[in-house]
Amino acid sequence: MSKPAVASLFRYTVLTGAVIALLAGGTAAARQPAEAKAPPAPREVKLVHKLDAERADALQALAERFNESARDVRVALVKGDWSETDLPHMLILEGQDTARFLAAGAPRFKPLHTTMREAGVPLRTVKPPAVVSRHKVDAQGRLVALPVGMSTPVLFVNRSAMRASGLDPDRPITTWLQLQETLGDLIDKGATCPYTVAQPGRVMIENVSAWHNQPVAQKPQRGPETPRFNGMLQVKHVAMMASWHRANYLRIFDSEREAEQRFAAGECALIAAPSSSWANFRRAGRFELGIAPLPYHDDVPGAPQNTLADGAALWVAAGKRPADYKAVARFVEFFLQPENQVAWQRATGYLPLNRAGLLAAESEILGDDLENVRVAVAQLTNKVPTPNSSASLLTGDARILAILDEELKGVWSDAKPAKQALDDAVLRAQPPAAPAPAAAPPRAGTQAAKPPAPAAKAPAPAAKAPAPAAKAPTPPAKRN
């Protein structure tokens, strides 16, 4: 979509008092010939981001609209790395960039709920549900950052490719076994890429676990969470995906971007990808696009449960002036206005942040524009989240996801079986040990205590297996 087209999503009628002000100024000038004092320059606050071209255009249109209405405040957008310049007032961060920003040291951010409260501006969002990444909320469930780029994995279908292969594009694909049958039929019809996944670790481990109410972390009463994603369900699912890969049912590419580009180009028939990808796939416009919930294993009691939401968030930097924070609060308030929320969802594919956005997704007025939001919200709210299916501090962690993707590569290359890969991932993902407190120096005239022998390194805790599930399906025979 072109920049003018994206900008048109944000354009709506605004009444101004420009003519009245001009006439008033002219009348005053006639009575008082002295030069009118020039208005002060608007206060500028910077927002740094790394959004792709289409979403950057949507953000630019939003900022321009805000600047026109605010007059005394201006939001200046900068595309790039936040660490390569002076710390801006606002930052939209995701993945490794978030991890670097939140790295140990003096806090670089001011909590969003504090910023809004001190500025006297209401924060009109829905209460962050338990399925939202915990990095964006504090212990009391208050937003520390605005989750402007949230999504959850769903299944996208190239309906044109299905029809060209003689398959019914409306055939049910609600379980993984039904998807396996569909992929086998596509292979028989000559498909070279029946199915791919944009984010293997996020889809196959984090969200498949939550979708089946299985934990990915152990949450002790004291101390940090420890990984627990090597249980029976996770091993079974990864083993099934490995058999698909060997049979050419599943193609794994080097990056999320490549997997999505291959699907958008019509090379792959189905893809598990973030729900927000709907906007880009529709813009590509190469085929009739369908969307469905993530499949589930119907031999797991209680499935499906709920999936998880994660993605980019807008952070407010620490150490700025009170007037700057008031300007930031006004921009956040503008961003959350109903018409701006709906336009943002349509242009970016991201999930709504308030009730207005949710109601827009349910409305038939916008047609299929927000079908991805309908599917994603239904998936996220399928059942009330449980402690096992809720987001934890480990879900969405860039370091953990990188480890999972690296270990899964060993599975795709047949270098490791599923169980070993996930066991190794659990070992690698253990939280770093806290440094031991320094011993107090011995008092004069006393002998220093002999240091204890170093403790042996403890093995990674084995995940407690869930109730036995049905035996994994027989791997499909490789079809040429």
Backbone angles phi, psi at 62, to 5 degrees: -65, -45
Helix 338-348 / helix 277-284 crossing angle, nearest 10 deg = 60
d(CA 17, CA 14): 10
pLDDT digits (tens, 9 = 90+) for 8-53: 444 433 333 332 233 233 333 333 444 566 678 899 999 999 999 9
The arithmetic mean of pLDDT across residues 343-356, rounded, is: 92
Confidence of residue 194 (pLDDT cuts 50, 70, 90): very high
pLDDT of amino acid 38: 67
Lowest-pLDDT range, 131-135, 405-409, 463-467? 463-467
Confidence of residue 360 (pLDDT cuts 50, 70, 90): confident
CA distances from 189 to 163, 166, 175, 394 (A): 11, 8, 22, 41
Confidence of residue 454 (pLDDT cuts 50, 70, 90): very low
Lowest-pLDDT range, 34-43, 122-131, 456-465? 456-465
d(CA 324, CA 331): 11
pLDDT digits (tens, 9 = 90+) for 282-324: 999 999 999 999 999 999 999 999 999 999 999 999 999 999 9
CA-based nearest residue to 310, from 124, 95, 107, 139: 95
pLDDT digits (tens, 9 = 90+) for 71-116: 899 999 999 999 988 999 999 999 999 999 998 677 899 999 999 9
Confidence of residue 177 (pLDDT cuts 50, 70, 90): very high
The arithmetic mean of pLDDT across residues 245-266, rounded, is: 96
Q: Six-digit token pair at 62?
A: 């939003």
* Cβ-count burial 329-356 (b if 16+ within 10 Å, e if not): bbbbbbbbeeebbbbbbbbbbbbbbeeb
pLDDT digits (tens, 9 = 90+) for 205-225: 999 999 999 999 998 878 889
pLDDT digits (tens, 9 = 90+) for 157-175: 999 999 999 999 999 999 9
Mean pLDDT, the chain, as a whole number? 86
pLDDT > 60? residue 350: yes
pLDDT > 70? residue 376: yes
Q: Give me the domains of the chain, ranges plus CATH numbers.
A: 3-11+41-150+310-376 (3.40.190.10), 153-306+385-428 (3.40.190.10)
Most confident of 185-189, 436-440, 471-475: 185-189
The arithmetic mean of pLDDT across residues 322-333, rounded, is: 98
Q: Where are the alpha helices (DSSP H) in 35-164?
A: 53-70, 96-101, 112-119, 159-164
Backbone angles phi, psi at 406, to 5 degrees: -65, -45
CA-based nearest residue to 357, from 376, 347, 370: 370
CA-based nearest residue to 348, from 385, 373, 329: 373
pLDDT of amino acid 449: 45
Q: Six-digit token pair at 295?
A: 């499949």
Lowest-pLDDT range, 27-41, 179-193, 354-368, 460-474? 460-474
d(CA 339, CA 12): 9
* Cβ-count burial 269-283 (b if 16+ within 10 Å, e if not): bbbbbbbbbbbbbbe
d(CA 219, CA 233): 19
